[in-house]
Amino acid sequence: MHKKGNSYLSSTIITSNKAFSDWAELFHDPVIVTAFLDRLLHHSVVINIRGKSYRLRGKLGENKIKSKS
């Protein structure tokens, strides 16, 4: 992220279905994950959305969309 004065010039959105505490298991190195998350989350806004996945609903057999014929 580039900074000019007191404002940032770009934004980044990162999505994950894993909690931050699970990232060490994913990347196999808790020290690296801690350093990465420290830099990533500095000046960040974290939005935690809970609930069933809309994207996976058809694959899970829930609320299947009926096709129009």
SS3 38: helix
Task: Answer whether residue 23 is part of any domain.
Answer: yes
Cα–Cα distance for residue pair 58/65, rounded to 1 Å: 7
Domain span including residue 42: 15-46
The residue among 10, 6, 16 whose CA lies nearest residue 36 is: 16
Q: Please give the pLDDT value at position 32.
A: 92
pLDDT in tens, 12-53: 888 888 888 888 888 888 999 999 999 989 888 998 888 887
Query: What is the total count of domains within the chain?
Result: 1
Q: Is residue 68 part of a domain?
A: no
The pLDDT value recorded for residue 6 is 64
Q: What is the pTM of this model?
A: 0.57
